[in-house]
């Protein structure tokens, strides 16, 4: 036992290290297997930037099904890139095996009714084949919803439009209209989509001519058979047209296939890769892929190719998920440390948090490298969540190094874990699910992104961290006997210090934002909702400090106000965005608004608990009892032995 007590934290660290190492090992195909991982690294242009196919696959799947993996019919999980290549290879994307995957997320009962589909509670994902039966009704509803003004659309319209967008993403991929996968074939050339290359070879006029040609042939044949083509019944007319169009399509495809190698060698090489996959020939696939990589990416800058590869690796490494696991275990060990084996569990938690934070840091740096924006941490809502988590964990680690009681670890890890979950959900509900998306023109300045946005976000992080400390104070004090006088005093110092930092950072950040605004459009302050949100946080923190200096609040009051501060963070961070989001961003605004409501409800409950009269607090009664039995020094369980040092 004593051995375990002395070395348990090293064992934990070693286990965590092994997990990281396993996850970091690049997946490699065995000899003679299709190497989808290499395929995923191929650079393509999409959303205004060069990214690996793997990222496109993940973001598309995320938008369609809210997951980055998919299950086949037997319930086996597969990576997104496998789905992407199958969609791109599909000869008929509306039928065939790829239409059988249950991917399209539909949870609205009205939409399910419209499509005539049964509800699948807890899963809610449907295959294209399932949707097919009610497809015509759906398209009618979609047209109706699109025709309406934004403000007149109701819930149902919103959900119909959402499914419409999901189907559209799929359709664009299947028809090769996305991404721009054909690299330039001369210096400074443009990327093109495979569909554009095909259209250049066979323009619509050629397709029409082919169709008419086939139709004429059929009419000739009919006449020879002694039938008048104009006297055919309506149903046979339609059949005739369909057959003619299929035949014409085939002709056109043959022309395209034959001309493509000359018109666009890169497109041809790319199609060869897809063809090899379609036929399931691993050797040919890998050779074709290799040929494409070496021969056809010559006019793509080397750094773009390397970046795409690194991004694909980062996708696979899932660093935030890993860090989240570290934080989750750290929370467990941190809490355990307050019950048994204080030092051992605290050290275990410390190393886990540190390891998680290092992964977190490395990923932030990697993202800077991928975006080519040094010192820019935050470029969108997703990265703000990641950065808030990172900063809060750092704050927690600093508090831990000062106070050595596990509190900094647990509160930092809670924020780190929570923001990892929030970030994931933000990504899934964002318009393009691309965490490295390009920036709006006015935001395209590294200096202000690095200063203003980082400072404001750090202010949010510090305010939130103080809220978590407040929650700890209230929960430990009210529901456990663990909050000794000394512990309470330390926790108060921690809250106070965090609020001071929060005030400094949120104020500096807000003012830097004002200067940026002044600099770019001549107005220091515009009273817009986001600015107002930031100023609310500044005023709230200033209020806490003044109330404390004036002696209006003591420890418990400080804790309650800190918790309330988190409510302001939720308001500024997400709440203000909801006001303007029209009905066109349905799923997004509804889930985020609900998230805000739930968070506020939770904080209000904690605040209510914090307002319970002190005489009912377990820790207060414990302390009183202790005082009563002071002389003999009965052994009270101490929460923070370190604190007595």
Partner 1 sequence: MPESAAKKDVPILPAVDSAEGSDAGLTFLQFMGMVLRPIASLRLTVVLFSLCLILVFFGTLAQIKDGVWTVVDKYFYSEVVWIPLQLIAEFCKVFFRSLGFPQDATWGGSFPFPGGFTLGWALLANLVAAHLVRFRISWKRSGILLIHSGVAVLLIGEYVTRKYAVESTMTIAVGETVNFVDRSLAVELAVIDRSDPKIDDVVVIPQRLLKKKGLIQHPDLPVDLRVTEYHKNSDVRPLRAESDTVPDELVAADGQRYQVLARDEAAGVDPNQKHDAPMMRIDALQKGSDEVLRTFLLTLWQYPNFTNRQIDLPAQKLTVGDKEYALELRPKREYKPYSVTLLKFEHAVYPGTDVPKDFASTVRLEDPERNQVRDQVRIWMNHPLTHRGQTLYQSSYLPGDVGTVLQVVRNPGGDLPYWSCLMIAGGMVLHFGIHLIGFLGRRAVA
Q: Which of residues 407-446 bind partner 1 (CB under 8 A)?
A: 438, 440-442, 444-445
Residue 521's nearest CA partner among 624, 468, 443 is 443
Verify cis geometry, omega within 30 degrees of 0, for the bond prior to 179: yes
Report in angstroms how near the CB of residue 440 gets to partner 1 at its nearest: 7
Residue 280 or 551: which CB sits closer to partner 1? 551
Residue 133 or 597: which CB sits closer to partner 1? 597
Question: Is 191 among the residues that bind partner 1 (CB under 8 A)?
Answer: yes
CB 417 within 8 A of CB 324: yes
Report in angstroms how near the CB of residue 176 gets to partner 1 at its nearest: 14
598: tokens are 């739930």
The only residue of 67, 532, 557, 626 in contact with partner 1, by rule CB under 8 A: 532
Question: Is 195 among the residues that bind partner 1 (CB under 8 A)?
Answer: no
- Distance (Å, rounded) from C-alpha 119 to C-alpha 69? 22
Report in angstroms how near the CB of residue 354 gets to partner 1 at its nearest: 21
State the distance between the two ends of the chain, measured CA to CA, in whole angstroms: 26
Report in angstroms how near the CB of residue 578 gets to partner 1 at its nearest: 5
Chain positions 37 to 76 lying near partner 1, rule: CB under 8 A, are 45-49
Strands 43-46 and 69-71: unpaired
Residue 290 or 520: which CB sits closer to partner 1? 520
Chain positions 613 to 632 lying near partner 1, rule: CB under 8 A, are none
Report in angstroms how near the CB of residue 171 gets to partner 1 at its nearest: 18
- Distance (Å, rounded) from C-alpha 470 to C-alpha 327? 19
The only residue of 378, 433, 596, 606 in contact with partner 1, by rule CB under 8 A: 596
Length of the chain counted residue by residue: 645
- Distance (Å, rounded) from C-alpha 396 to C-alpha 386? 15
Report in angstroms how near the CB of residue 496 gets to partner 1 at its nearest: 7
Neighbours of 273 (CB within 10 A): 24
Outline where 264-376 has alpha helix (H). Answer: 265-279, 282-296, 302-317, 319-337, 342-371
SS3 sequence of 314-332: HHHHCHHHHHHHHHHHHHH
Quick one: angle between helices 155-174 and 53-65, nearest 10?
150
Question: Is 188 among the residues that bind partner 1 (CB under 8 A)?
Answer: no
CB 361 within 8 A of CB 390: yes
Chain positions 365 to 384 lying near partner 1, rule: CB under 8 A, are none
- The tokens 């323009």 sit on which residue? 203
Size of interface with partner 1, in residues (CB under 8 A) = 71
- The tokens 């000394």 sit on which residue? 486
Report in angstroms how near the CB of residue 156 gets to partner 1 at its nearest: 13
Question: Is 580 among the residues that bind partner 1 (CB under 8 A)?
Answer: yes
Residue 209 or 594: which CB sits closer to partner 1? 594
From residue 388 to residue 407, the character string flagging contacts with partner 1 as x (rule: CB under 8 A) and all else as - is --------------x-----
Chain positions 98 to 117 lying near partner 1, rule: CB under 8 A, are none
Report in angstroms how near the CB of residue 311 gets to partner 1 at its nearest: 17
The only residue of 529, 557, 618, 638 in contact with partner 1, by rule CB under 8 A: 529
Report in angstroms how near the CB of residue 261 gets to partner 1 at its nearest: 24
- Distance (Å, rounded) from C-alpha 402 to C-alpha 394? 13
Binding segment for partner 1 (CB under 8 A), chosen from 289-297, 478-486, 590-598, 629-637, is 590-598
Question: Is 590 among the residues that bind partner 1 (CB under 8 A)?
Answer: yes
Binding segment for partner 1 (CB under 8 A), chosen from 20-28, 304-312, 415-423, 519-527, is 519-527
Neighbours of 181 (CB within 10 A): 25
Q: Is 41 helix (H, G, I), strand (E, B) or coil?
A: coil
- Distance (Å, rounded) from C-alpha 395 to C-alpha 389? 10
Binding segment for partner 1 (CB under 8 A), chosen from 205-213, 217-225, 332-340, 514-522, is 514-522
192: tokens are 């093109």
Residue 191 or 285: which CB sits closer to partner 1? 191
Verify cis geometry, omega within 30 degrees of 0, for the bond prior to 249: no
Report in angstroms how near the CB of residue 511 gets to partner 1 at its nearest: 4
CA–centroid distance for 209 within its chain: 47
Chain positions 465 to 504 lying near partner 1, rule: CB under 8 A, are 493, 496-497, 500-501, 503-504
- Distance (Å, rounded) from C-alpha 223 to C-alpha 202? 30
Report in angstroms how near the CB of residue 263 gets to partner 1 at its nearest: 20
From residue 546 to residue 565, the character string flagging contacts with partner 1 as x (rule: CB under 8 A) and all else as - is xxxxxxx-------------
CB 457 within 8 A of CB 415: no
Question: Is 264 among the residues that bind partner 1 (CB under 8 A)?
Answer: no
Question: Is 507 among the residues that bind partner 1 (CB under 8 A)?
Answer: yes
Binding segment for partner 1 (CB under 8 A), chosen from 53-61, 88-96, 330-338, 524-532, is 524-532
Residue 344 or 429: which CB sits closer to partner 1? 429
- Distance (Å, rounded) from C-alpha 228 to C-alpha 238? 15
The only residue of 320, 448, 588, 617 in contact with partner 1, by rule CB under 8 A: 448
- Distance (Å, rounded) from C-alpha 156 to C-alpha 145? 9
Residue 40 or 47: which CB sits closer to partner 1? 47
């Amino acid at each position: 036992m004593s051995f375990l007590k002395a070395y348990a934290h090293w064992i934990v660290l070693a286990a965590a290290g092994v997990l990281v190492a396993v996850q970091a090992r690049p997946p490699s195909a065995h000899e003679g297997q299709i190497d989808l991982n290499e395929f995923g690294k191929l650079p393509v242009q999409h959303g205004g930037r060069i990214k690996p196919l793997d990222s496109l696959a993940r973001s598309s799947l995320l938008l369609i099904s809210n997951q980055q993996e998919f299950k086949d019919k037997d319930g086996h999980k597969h990576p997104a890139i496998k789905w992407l290549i199958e969609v791109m290879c599909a000869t008929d994307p509306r039928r065939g095996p790829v239409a059988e995957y249950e991917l399209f997320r539909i949870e609205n009962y009205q939409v399910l009714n419209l499509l005539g589909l049964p509800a699948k509670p807890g899963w809610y994902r449907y295959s294209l084949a399932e949707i097919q039966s009610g497809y015509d009704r759906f398209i009618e509803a979609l047209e109706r919803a699109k025709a309406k003004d934004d403000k007149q659309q109701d819930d149902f319209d919103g959900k119909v439009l959402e499914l419409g967008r999901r189907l559209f993403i799929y359709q664009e991929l299947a028809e090769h209209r996305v991404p721009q996968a054909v690299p330039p074939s001369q210096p400074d050339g443009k990327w093109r989509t495979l569909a554009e290359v095909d259209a250049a070879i066979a323009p619509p006029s050629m397709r029409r001519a082919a169709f008419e040609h086939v139709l004429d042939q059929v009419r000739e044949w009919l006449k020879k058979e002694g039938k008048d083509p104009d006297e055919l019944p309506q149903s046979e007319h339609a059949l005739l047209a369909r057959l003619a169009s299929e035949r014409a399509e085939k002709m056109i495809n043959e022309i395209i296939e034959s001309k493509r190698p000359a018109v666009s060698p890169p497109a041809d090489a790319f199609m060869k890769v897809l063809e090899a996959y379609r036929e399931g020939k691993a050797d040919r696939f890998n050779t074709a892929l290799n040929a494409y990589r070496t021969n056809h990416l010559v006019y793509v800058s080397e750094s773009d190719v390397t970046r795409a590869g690194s991004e694909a690796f980062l996708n696979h490494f899932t660093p935030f998920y890993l860090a989240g696991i570290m934080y989750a275990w750290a929370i467990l060990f941190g809490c355990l440390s307050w019950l048994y084996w204080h030092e051992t569990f605290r050290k275990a938690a410390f190393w886990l948090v540190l390891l998680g934070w290092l992964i977190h840091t490395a990923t932030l740096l990697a993202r800077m490298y991928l975006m080519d924006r040094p010192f820019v941490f935050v470029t969108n809502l997703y990265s703000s969540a990641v950065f808030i988590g990172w900063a809060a964990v750092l704050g927690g680690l600093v508090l831990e190094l000062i106070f050595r009681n596990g509190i900094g670890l647990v509160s930092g890890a809670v924020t780190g874990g929570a923001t990892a979950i929030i970030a994931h959900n933000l990504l899934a509900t964002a318009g393009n699910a691309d965490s490295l998306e390009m920036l709006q023109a006015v935001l395209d300045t590294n200096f202000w992104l690095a200063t203003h946005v980082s400072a404001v976000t750090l202010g949010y992080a510090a305010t939130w961290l103080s809220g978590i400390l407040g929650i700890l104070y209230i929960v430990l004090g009210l529901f456990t006997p663990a909050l000794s006088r000394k512990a309470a005093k330390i926790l108060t110092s921690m809250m106070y210090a965090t609020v001071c930092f929060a005030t400094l950072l949120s104020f500096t950040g807000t003012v830097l934002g004002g200067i940026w605004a002044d600099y770019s459009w001549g107005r220091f302050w515009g009273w817009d909702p986001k600015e107002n949100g930031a100023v609310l946080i500044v005023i709230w923190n200033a209020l806490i400090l003044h109330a404390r200096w004036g002696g209006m609040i003591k420890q418990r009051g400080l804790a309650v106000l800190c918790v309330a501060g988190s409510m302001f963070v939720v308001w500024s961070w997400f709440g203000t965005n909801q006001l303007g989001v029209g009905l066109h961003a349905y799923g997004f605004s509804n889930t985020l608004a609900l998230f805000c409501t739930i968070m506020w409800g939770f904080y209000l409950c904690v605040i209510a608990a914090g307002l319970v009269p002190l005489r009912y607090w377990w820790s207060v009664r414990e302390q009183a009892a202790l005082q009563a039995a002071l002389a003999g020094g009965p052994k009270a369980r101490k929460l923070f032995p370190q604190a007595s040092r």
